[in-house]
Every structure is written in C-alpha cells, then in structure tokens.
Amino acid sequence: MVERRSILKPDGTIVPGSKPRMDEEFLLEALRLMMLSRAYDERVIGLQRQGRFGVYSPGLGQEASIVGSAMSLDPSRDWIVPQYRELMAVVRQGYPLELITATYMGKTTPDTRIPEGVNVLPTQVALAAQLPQATGLAWGLKLQGKDAVVMAYIGEGGSSEGDFHEALNLAGVQRAPIVFFMQNNQWAISTPRRMQSAVPSFSLRAAGYGFPGVEVDGNDVLAVYDVAVEAVERARAGEGPSLIEAVTYRMGFHNTTDNPSRYLDPAEFEEAKQRDPIQRVIKYLTAIGLWDDERQKTADQEVAAEIERVVEAAQAQRGVRPEMLFDHVYERPPERVERQRAEFLKSVNGH
C-alpha cells in the first residue's frame, strides 16, 4: 500500500505529529488564491453561458492541489508548464489574470501574450502533449547551468497517453530538474479512474523511470505544499525528477461543454463536498484565531472587486483585426505574402 501524505484533516485539525512547512502568512495567501479561483470560476462560467467567454475548465474542488503546488516555486527562476486547469498556478507565477481573461474572450493579440519574464508555457488542451516539451525545457535549463525547476501538470487521464511515458522516461535518464504534478480528480472527462488504470496508485509509475513518486491528499493545501517543496528542492539539488499524485475530486464539470449529471453519482459528489479544500483551511484558521465572519466578509468583497477589475480590463483590450492573420508568420514576409496582405486589406476596406 502507498501512504497518502496528509497534514490538515477535513475537520480542520492537524494530523498528530505533523509540522507543516507553510507558515500562517503564506497559508492566508494560499487561501486568498483558492477563494479567487472559485469565485472566478463562477463568474466566467456565467459569461460563457452568455456567449461572452470561451470553453473553460474550472478548478472547482482542486484549488488546494493547484495553489499548494504553485506556491512551492520561485516565479523569478522556476517554470510552469500547465495543462488547462491550473489557472491560479500561472497567475501566481505572474501571468496577469486580465490578460488570460482577454484571451478567453477571443482577444488573442500581441497585447495579451504571455509577458516577458513570466516563466509559463501556453495552456495545452491536447492531453499530455505538453510533457515532452516540459522535459525538454528542464533538460535545457540543466544544460545551461540554470538554477531552475520545471513544474509540469497533468491529469490522471493524461497518464494513459504515450507522451506521458516518453516524457517521464527521458526525464529520468537525463535527471532533468522537473516535477510532474498529477491531479488525480477521479475523472478523465466522463471516464472514471477505475477504468483508467489497474495500478493502485499512479505515483508507483515513477519507479519504472528511476525516480521517486509520492501520493498526497490533494485537498490538503499544507500537505500538497510540503511534498511539492521536497520535490522542488530535490530537483534543484540535481537529484532529478519526481512524480506527485495529488488525489482530489473534480466537483464540477470537465469543461463548459460537459454535462456531468449524465455520469456522476450524486452520493459520491456529496461525499466529496465534505472534503472541500477551501472549507478545510477556513476551519483551521478559525480554530487558531486567524479567521472569523468579519474577515470572511472582507475577503469575499476583495475577491469580488478583483474579479470585476479583471473582467473590465479584459473587455477593454483591443480585439482581433483581420490583418492580424498575416502577423508573426514570417520574420521577413516574402513579396507574395505582402501582396496577399495588401489585396486582403483592400477587399476588407472596400478600396
């Protein structure tokens, strides 16, 4: 049996004998990001239903995994390679939420690209396709002698893809400074975990590639942070990759095209709600005197104001113009492309 690491129990008490690395100030920041994540999900799902936002994958129920892992990194030197459900991880890394929001609104212009100095690769929707690039990035950083670590995200469903195994194998051989962070949310779209793999713990797969794996309670932000810090420190010390399996539960749909009521067991969902990662932190902070109703009210108001600012800023971004079709294709566009561009503009402008 694999031991599942945990520190903060669902009732908000600490597992006896545990001493979390995350201090109280850092935990308050983690809670703020988790609350921002959930409130943002709610707001933009509403926008999507109005036809004002693109297809979106919420992090509902997985906030501790996303935030706890991201907070183990140093944004000034470390990299994140996301899949599509790690919004607050890339925000914590420095990618402005208003720019991310603008791209979901279809404003994919030079103004909304990932800013210089923000160590994040683009979101990847094709399952596991980002992992070979993540391993290559980590290997390249090692060859350059950079003191940097890559955190690459994947779901348990993506571990059935060949790219997953190829990336882990190469990372193990090259001792690349990378942490593979798997969010096991029990669902690969509508396929349950039991139909994905016979392995009792996905973390066991790491041994086949020559590096350690660990299973952690993905709804426990303190435990997620602890195991992530250990893996990051290991990678930074030149000891190679790690695989973290964060066992959590997707408390919403796969994305806004999905209808989980067709396959989700309501009893299972209700049981998962009892392990809510945000309520777990609030219970703990309340017990130690760092949270109360007034602080909750203030936090809710601050999060709501931040989301309003973000949405307004995203809406103010300029939209895509037809001539952008020709931009950033060539460093020096050939004459035929320039001619096509001129003809296109003439047809659009009518002269």
Q: Per residue, what are the HEC states of 25-58?
A: HHHHHHHHHHHHHHHHHHHHHHHHHCCCCCCCCC
| Rounded-to-integer distance, Cα 244 and Cα 229, Å | 11
Half-sphere exposure (Cβ direction) of 92: Cα atoms closer than 13 Å:
27
Cα–Cα nearest to 203, from 241, 148, 170? 241
Residues 350 and 242 in one domain: no
Q: Which phi-psi region, left, alpha or beta, contains residue 174 (left: φ > 0; alpha: ψ -120 to 50)?
A: alpha
Do residues 86 and 295 lie in contact, with contact meaning Cβ atoms separated by under 8 Å? no
Residues 314 and 326 in one domain: no
Residues 208 and 330 in one domain: no
Provide the residue type at 248 as one letter: T
Catalytic residues: 250, 254, 263
Q: CA-based Rg of the chain, rounded to a whole angstrom?
A: 21
Domain that holds residue 335: 322-351
Query: Pairing state of beta strands 187-188 and 191-192?
Result: antiparallel
Question: pTM for the full model?
Answer: 0.93
Residues 343 and 307 in one domain: no
Residues 304 and 332 in one domain: no
The total of structural domains in the chain comes to 2
| Rounded-to-integer distance, Cα 210 and Cα 238, Å | 14
Residues 109 and 148 in one domain: yes
Residues 332 and 315 in one domain: no
Residues 72 and 194 in one domain: yes
Residues 122 and 268 in one domain: yes
Residues 349 and 214 in one domain: no
The CATH number for 166's domain is 3.40.50.970
Residues 316 and 328 in one domain: no
- Residue listed under structure tokens 């066992």: 247
| Rounded-to-integer distance, Cα 204 and Cα 106, Å | 41
| Per-residue pLDDT in tens (0 to 9) along the chain, 351 residues | 789 999 999 999 999 999 999 999 999 999 999 999 999 999 999 999 999 999 999 999 999 999 999 999 999 999 999 999 999 999 999 999 999 999 999 988 888 889 999 999 999 889 999 999 999 999 999 999 999 999 999 999 999 999 999 999 999 999 999 999 999 998 888 888 888 888 999 999 999 999 999 999 999 999 999 999 999 999 999 999 999 999 999 998 899 998 888 888 888 888 888 999 999 999 999 999 999 999 999 999 999 999 999 999 999 988 878 788 888 889 999 999 999 999 988 887 765
Residues 153 and 283 in one domain: yes
